[in-house]
Chain A
Amino acid sequence: MELLAARGITKYFRDTLTLADDRVSLSLAEGETRAVVGENGAGKSTLARVIAGLVVQDSGAVFVRGRRVRAGSVREAEAAGIGFVPQASLLAGGLTVAENIVLGREPRLLGLFVSRRKAYIETAMLIERFGFRIDPDALVSSLSSAERRQADIARALARGGDILVLDEPTSILSESESERLFELLKRLAKAGKAILLITHRLSEVLKEADSITVLRDGAVVADMLTKGADEAQLSSLMARRKAEGRRSGSGPAASGPIGAGHNDFALEIRDLRLAAGARPLSLALSSGEVLAVTALAGNGLGRLENFASGMEIPREGEVLAGGVNLASIPRGKLRSEILCYIPSDREGRGLCLPAAMRDNLLILRRREFLERDWIGRKRRDSAAREAALRFGLAADPRQSAASLSGGNRQRLLLARELDRPRAVLVLAEPLQGLDLASQAETIALMRDLAARGSAVLLLTSNIEEVLSAADRVMALYRGEAAFEGPNEGASTGSKLLAAMTGSAVGSVA
């Protein structure tokens, strides 16, 4: 029996000029596991968020058991039975698993007092029934990423019920952890739950899903059963018409970003010299793509950061955003509308330590908020508090940035820069100072922004970060590209390492 149906979902993001979903339809039956696959930026995450009520679609509707679910209401979606597991965990680190699971609908004694015992029992029963391996009394901040994922799913089950929508659930898990997660999902499917699995890992799809919906550039290009499908067929379906097609602008309006930057790469670097005597560097990023560049200190990563962020105007070569030279864009406009930039020099460039947290947070939205220091102080404080809380930073917005710990300073930066998708993201060492769980969440968020149309240039000295986040990778050595290629996991890691230490110069793939 058909449990969930999405019909003609269409969503256009004004801020990145991206048509994320174009008349997408799919259906899901009891006990069915359906995978939604597609490249980055194909519209998978947006579709999931529409179904979960997090994003209001421009047209189309979601039906559960034939009844239409009101658009843009998480509460209604949950009431209809849809539980959503986002890419970045929504759990509160300071609470226990049980407290998180009952959050907002706590069992009460005499309708008045929150009953921890009832919450514990309720959670324990849920955990028991589906064979989760987590302790309801454990603090979420003490969980590993795999355990956290389980808790996420338990939360979604407790809140929704019959339908689980999982957005890239394995992106931060190891292979064995992923396998265990899929065992759990199989048990849930056997119990009659319908599962919608958003992923770009085709091996998972072929092994775990019953049916597959393939998205490309926001539109459904195939709807099939897993039986008989193979990886090559799926990849060719997913593969976007290559850059030539997009650059000529001959594709339909639905393909990729629309508007000013349509004919160009989101970020393009031409003939930049990063070190004296080095060969000039060129690279190009399409929207939805994550390119990670790594290097050891002193090999040009810092210069690249300065050029890509427009902090330094190159004498040779040029940096283009959406086809426009960065130097010709007024800096205020660049930073508030086009470029999101997390500098590696957090204290010197990223934050104004003596200034209040709220000024650090709202400076890019200063047209809206910095107008009045006296008037509207409350509105600003609450906006700042809200923005900070989304990144797990619970602090008084009036306190100075200097009073925050290193990790919280980083959260403050992330909260300011990653609050909404922009055309270009230049992120230099974005994970410095963060604990492991926050690192994983930040990477998931980065991927999510890419999925919503941002082009991400990740600059980091940490190969692990590169491998966990990037589509394409590049290593610099003495200011030159020593390796460039797609991210193929561990093997790419060793190639990067060889290239950045200078033992494989010249092997540009």
Chain B
Amino acid sequence: MRRIAALGAALLFAALYALLASSDPHTAFLAFFVGPFSSSYSIYALLESSAPLLVCALGACIAFRAGAFNLGGEGQASVGTLAAALAASALAGAVALPPLIGIAAVILAAAAAGAGLALLSAIAERRTGAQVMLTSFLLSQTAIIAVDWAIGGPFRDSLSNLLAMPAIGSRLRLPLLALPSPLSLAFPISIVLAACTVFFTKATRMGSEIRLLGKNREFARAMGLSPRLGAWALGISGALAGTAGAFLVLGQSGRAVVGMTGGVGWNGLAVALIAGSDGLGALPAALFFAWLDSGSRQASILADLSPDASSVLKAVALFLITAKIAGPRLKRRPSSGAGAEVEV
């Protein structure tokens, strides 16, 4: 409820922003709020763009639950794009392979690449005690530079003007579900992954153990929970981010382009925070973010609103929601402490 109220407040702020920042508030207003739903095409486009975001957010949710601040989603998605593109070109010759299996293999390659990058942080923590929050971020920034170099350098499509790898054959692209819109199989897959995440976190032993690990590490160790539990959570988190990279490559653009992740990892973190690390809440939160993106894009085309509006609005939504979460916690702490003292 609190979250919905906060989202409402963010929308109110969006309206205010459109009013103040645009010389034609009426058009901007309509474009922003109604535009994304004005046609089935734009609705489908919105859904498609929410898929990688949702998958990244699911990864962030699992890492957060384990108390591992995986700030490397962006880099993990990035290595995912490269791995997907390389796997697709490697499989391009295998004509006998059924397309769906080929696609699954490409996605798995991307997931493995993302997981591998995330696991480096887990290994560093295990060996040296380095904080995951730092190593995941630093490794991710490094990986982005390396991936951009690879895509724009050795693997670049020399026939194209883009800083991109060669286009992937249509056989290995994600099937489009509602032509001419860009809606692909990515969206249903992301929904399934969300359901899997909810099941994993709420209905499996490892999910419960990860939750306890995230709440108190020392306790988890004293109770004999597996020391590899945190690494598992990080690995799964990275695999999901890598999957998001594969969605980007196998979807609309059909190739790996330099800088194509475009903040999907960071936005995934924000979505996970808004959702309170709950896989179920991540779906509406991801759709909300996709809507802000789509709305501000439309408003910038139809009116004179800056396309950066979405970044501002996302920041506001995140701020409002995290403030709401922190509020009651700060209030609760002293009172529970006092209660304990009285009762002892």
Contacts and interface: CB of A to CB of B under 8 A. Distances in A.
B116 to A, nearest CB: 26
Nearest to A348: B218
Contacts of A351: 216, 219
Interface in A347-396: 348-355, 359, 363-364, 366-367, 370-375
Contacts of A366: 205, 208-209
Given A374-B202, A405-B343, A355 B226 contact: no
Given A359-B212, A433-B344, A402 B203 contact: no
Nearest to A372: B203
A374 B227 CA distance: 25
Given A354-B215, A355-B215, A433-B344, A370 B223 contact: no
Interface string A323-338: 0000000111111100
A331 B211 CA distance: 18
Contacts of B227: 331
Contacts of B215: 352-355
Interface in B220-236: 220-227
A371 B223 contact: no
Nearest to A371: B205
B96 interface: no
Given A309-B222, A363-B223, A407 B344 contact: yes
Contact of B203 (A341, A359, A364, A373): A373
Determine the interface band of chain A, counting residues with CB < 8 A from chain B.
35 or more
Contacts of B202: 373-374
A341 B208 contact: no
Nearest to A329: B224
B225 A332 contact: yes
B340 interface: yes
A331 B208 CA distance: 18
- Most chain B CB within 10 A, of A330, A348, A349, is at A349
A402 B340 CA distance: 9
- Most chain B CB within 10 A, of A345, A352, A374, is at A352
B340 A353 contact: no
B224 A331 contact: yes
A311 B343 contact: no
Nearest to A403: B336
Interface string A402-416: 110111100000000
A331 B216 contact: no
B207 interface: yes
A403 B336 CA distance: 7
A370 B208 contact: yes
A165 B222 CA distance: 39
B344 A335 contact: no
Given A332-B226, A354-B215, A359 B208 contact: yes
A288 interface: no
A334 B227 CA distance: 13
A453 interface: no
A2 to B, nearest CB: 50
B222 A349 contact: yes
A406 B337 CA distance: 10
Nearest to B225: A332
B224 A311 contact: no
Contacts of A402: 336
A343 interface: yes
A375 B219 contact: no
Contacts of B209: 366, 370
B343 A406 contact: yes
A364 B223 contact: yes
Given A349-B219, A352-B212, A335 B224 contact: yes
Given A353-B216, A374-B202, A405-B339, 14 more contacts: A309-B222, A331-B225, A331-B226, A335-B223, A345-B218, A348-B219, A349-B219, A350-B219, A359-B208, A370-B209, A372-B204, A373-B202, A406-B343, A406-B344
Interface of A: 309, 311, 330-336, 341, 343, 345, 348-355, 359, 363-364, 366-367, 370-375, 402-403, 405-408, 433
15 contacts: A330-B224, A331-B224, A332-B225, A333-B224, A334-B224, A335-B223, A343-B222, A349-B222, A353-B215, A355-B215, A367-B205, A373-B202, A373-B208, A374-B202, A406-B343
